[in-house]
Structure 1
């Protein structure tokens, strides 16, 4: 018997014998092996795509770098100083400074020297960001102006207001540590003073300023909302608010000095550079991680 009764000549197939039980089992095993291999390939491909996709995302299998992500430059406007307003008033009062009245000559009005107007953070930005982050508006203004100033002074640095604000949060709660309060002037009262650096569980730093900043003529103490020790303030202190005094207890001065100090470590535009700069502020990896978390929280709050 053939498989095709109509086949003739060379077209006929040889009679096919019935396979044995062993052969059937081997065939079934072969089919099962093939199916298993295909399933394994599919599962492996899906797993590989999943791993690749997750690992490429921050927070996936690849641990994210604990570093600040940064934020755009805050918007600022120029303020008009009282001196400019006074000069304008005097100019308006003298309609014709060269006019002659009888035998008297009206005094000439000497022009005031031009003074560059100080930048002011836009009120709408302050309101929105303060509400979103919980940073007091007065402190936020200081951090934002420090960002603007250091970006102009050292554009290669890359430090931004979120990092400065995060350090301010850790160091003093934005000038609210203990009984201290941040005034509208930017002054923190009473002064925020750290413990005496007398070597008892802390570094030993003998007095370097005669107690002028920290009130301690024996040991140095960290001072102000950004917690500068006197010797460091001597090098990096700044007069950011233009009152003629570099004061570590005034938040504009302190925030700008902190930005300058951080930038001295080099560019902060990479995770390594950012961590190195913040580590220079406080030599603890846990401190760097904490500042990174707070800074990124501020950035995330803005969407």
Structure 2
């Protein structure tokens, strides 16, 4: 387990109620054309285009507020949002409404390398999905794809601006209300999407309602500012909150709040996945040697991935259970990290989570 201490604050309990509207096996990908083999290229023929490069996922950012500004947010407004106390991350993207298969859909034009961090963990982790987007295809929210009857790999006309025809590269839960389709920036420009029409804000430790009020004051009455922690959205499958709750059920008597507290201390719920100075990795900061014994395939994809919250969180529950959490919680947490200060901090945070979500 992780040996170096992360400075934590009880106020950051709000980071758990994330907005991911995901299911366990929700990503579908269209067929991707393979580049021609060297033997198939004639002498002097141009080489196949290089595959698009998408930066590897380094962290997952929990969006707390989504603001939609019809005319686009100005640079000064975005700068003021960034200066709100405890705001950690802000991203702006172009967007607009277009027609797809005869129905209105809301589209965002995003940089795959940058935007993937703001999506639910199961979506953010899919390198193939974001590579398809970077390659000029579009990605549809799982629900939108089902509602519209879209077929993977098929080409569709996105009626807006130059109305380009674009192939569907994949579907996945996007975790944002009203967002149906993602396109790469170049396609968004052709479609005439409005720059900075959507603003996503991450502010751990700030009450979402307070954050909404401050952002609305900056953006004005025409902006629609949404709290992404409303009761009907928080804790759905794919969120860190739900992952902690699901994992705890495998160890009767172990509260999900203990897993949440460990997740906060170890990586701030996936924000800092290491490696630590001791070599620990992933959202629950397992040492690779420990992972060999306790690694779990939590999402049923056939592998136990130390970097995946879908695997690491159930593995942490299994470790604590094996360490006797049902009989002596203090001893089990001490086994996770051999330090009394660590146990005391985890238990204090667990109590804070219990009170926050009572």
Normalised to the residue count of structure 1, the TM-score between the two structures is: 0.40
Select the structure with the greater relative contact order (CA < 8 A; seq sep ≥ 6).
2
Normalised to the residue count of structure 2, the TM-score between the two structures is: 0.34
Q: Which has the higher helix share?
A: 1
Q: Which has the higher strand share?
A: 2
Looking at CA atoms only, which structure, 1 or 2, has the larger radius of gyration? Answer: 1
